[in-house]
Structure 1
Amino acid sequence: MTSLKGIRIVLTRDVESSEQDRLLIEEKGGIPVIAPMIKIGAADVQIDEQKKSQLEQADWIIFTSKNGVYYFCKLVEEAGMADLLTRKKIAAVGRKTAEALENEGMQVHYIPPLYSASSFRSDFKEHVQGPVLFPQGNLSRGEIAKFLNEQGHKCISWTVYENTIPEISDGLLDYFRDADVITLFSPSAAVRFYETVKADHQLISSVRQGRIKIASIGPTTSEAIREMSLPVHIEPSEYTMEAMIEEIAMTLKC
Structure 2
Amino acid sequence: MSKSHALLDKTVLVPRGKNQAKSFSQLVERYGGIPIEIPLLAFRPIEKNHRLEDCLEALHTYDWIIFTSNVTVDTFFSFCDRDTDELPKTAVIGKKTAEILQEKGIHPAFVPSAYVAEVFVEEFLPFVDAHTKVLLPKGNLAREYIAASLMEAGAQVDEVVIYETYLPEESRLKLARMLAKNELNILLFTSPSTVDHLMEVVKEYGLEEQLKKCIIGCIGPVSEKKLLEYGLTVHVAPDQYTVKDMIESTIAYLEGKG
Decide: shared fold, TM above 0.5.
yes
Q: Please say if residues 13 and 184 of structure 1, whose CA atoms lie closer than 8 Å, have aligned partners that are also in contact.
A: no
Match of 1:28 in 2: 31
What is the CA distance between 1:168 and its match in structure 2? 3.5
Does 2:68 correspond to 1:61? Answer: no
Match of 2:193 in 1: 188
CA distance in 2, matches of 1:182, 1:144: 28
**Structure 1 stretches (4+) deviating beyond 3 angstroms?**
46-49, 80-83, 168-171
5+ residue gaps, structure 1, are 207-211
- Alpha-carbon RMSD across the aligned residues, in angstroms, is 2.2
CA distance in 2, matches of 1:35, 1:171: 7
Match of 2:111 in 1: 111
Return the TM-score normalized by structure 2.
0.86
Identity of aligned residues (%): 31
What is the CA distance between 1:140 and its match in structure 2? 0.7
Evaluate the alpha carbon distance shift between residue 75 and residue 81 of structure 1 in structure 2; reply closer, same or farther with a 3 A threshold.
farther
CA distance in 1, matches of 2:248, 2:134: 36
Give per-residue Cα distances to partners, 1:85-116, cap 9 Å, x unaligned.
2xx21111121222222122111111122211
Match of 1:209 in 2: none
Q: Please say if residues 46 and 75 of structure 1, whose CA atoms lie closer than 8 Å, have aligned partners that are also in contact.
A: no
5+ residue gaps, structure 2, are none
Q: Please say if residues 15 and 39 of structure 1, whose CA atoms lie closer than 8 Å, have aligned partners that are also in contact.
A: no
Q: Please say if residues 190 and 221 of structure 1, whose CA atoms lie closer than 8 Å, have aligned partners that are also in contact.
A: yes
Q: Which is worse superposed, 19-28 or 50-59?
A: 19-28
CA distance in 2, matches of 1:234, 1:124: 29
Match of 2:145 in 1: 143
CA distance in 1, matches of 2:209, 2:39: 21
Candidates 168, 190, 203, aligned match of 2:210: 203
Match of 1:124 in 2: 124
Match of 1:93 in 2: 93
Match of 2:223 in 1: 221
Give per-residue Cα distances to partners, 1:117-170, cap 9 Å, x unaligned.
011222222234521111111111121011111211001112122111201354
Candidates 235, 247, 250, aligned match of 1:233: 235
What SS class does the counterpart of residue 35 from structure 2 fall into?
Answer: strand
CA distance in 2, matches of 1:131, 1:109: 15
Give per-residue Cα distances to partners, 1:189-210, cap 9 Å, x unaligned.
111111211312321332xxxx
How many residues get paired? 245
